[in-house]
Copies of this chain bind each other. A is one copy, B any other.
């Protein structure tokens, strides 16, 4: 199961109800953060996402509301004895190293990498129980070097039970098939893994960070199970959205529709919106399967 936890859903200034930006993703016990605004470590405690199991932080861009929480998180990991063998990766655009070092983060377990478009992280291998996944960065439109991230499981295969039964595949033969790609079945017949499996598509989750509506997001989000998109304002603040390189809730829905994603969550909500009914309505007129993020909201994929 992949669990998504919305740890902070405010735009650049927090409110009583919304902490600064961060989206947590738990995959097979490990935790990954997309942005890490001030106070994220405590939001993880509050919403029961293990800060101790954080493996990587993906920073979208270098506005303070998206990265300041790295300092407190690292300080706490240091206090609980994190060692250099248990690396915390922090990925972000050019300038990230200087910014993170400025925060006083000189911990042996911390590895900061400045990245551009393309693959930035991977974990696990396909076909060994887990599918494993990669995270790729893509360019968005929000000032210089701003990035979004695609979390995508590797493609895998599911066993086709009727075919397996017909060929007498059982017990440890499954493991051998996974490990060697073939096995000797009943009667000495050689069975290849492709004979008894069907391809399985990995799950795909796309996080835009801050951005205006742009083709890059649509392309990156194509066919995603979940798109998490900037929706700082409603259409009535179109000018402000345009001037500040942010999307409206309606823009987010347009991207979701064009990219044919399964589900959209709109986040990075300006503190001008205490109630978000109007934002939700605006988005759902374009793309029905939309939610407006709230702090603590969980989605299981």
A residues in contact (CB < 8 Å) with B: 12-16, 19-20, 38-39, 41-42, 45-46, 64-65, 68-69, 71-72, 75-76, 79-80, 99, 101-104
Q: From A39, which residue of chain B is reached at the shortest CB distance?
A: B39
**Which residue among A39, A101, A102 has the maximum number of chain B CB atoms within 10 Å of its CB?**
A39
**Complex: A103 Cα to B72 Cα, angstroms:** 12
| B-chain residues with CB within 8 Å of residue A69 when the two chains form the complex | 38
Q: Which residues of B contact A104 (CB under 8 A)?
A: 64, 99, 102
Q: Would you call B71 and A38 a contact (CB within 8 A)? A: yes
Give the residue of B38, B39, B64, B80 whose beta carbon is less than 8 angstroms from that of A13.
Answer: B80
* A71 partner residues in chain B, CB cutoff 8 A: 38, 64, 68, 103
Shortest 3 CB-CB distances between A and B: which pairs?
A: A39-B39, A102-B102, A38-B72
Task: Kindly state the separation between the CA atoms of A80 and B12 in the bound complex, as whole angstroms.
Answer: 11
23 contacts between A and B (CB under 8 A): A12-B79, A13-B79, A14-B42, A14-B45, A14-B76, A15-B42, A15-B45, A16-B45, A20-B72, A38-B42, A38-B68, A38-B69, A39-B42, A39-B72, A64-B71, A65-B72, A65-B75, A68-B68, A68-B103, A71-B103, A99-B104, A102-B104, A103-B103
Do A13 and B76 touch (CB < 8 A)?
yes
Q: Determine the chain B residues whose CB is within 8 A of the CB of A13 once the complex forms.
A: 76, 79-80
Could you say which of B16, B38, B64, B99 contacts A38, with CB atoms under 8 Å apart? Answer: B38
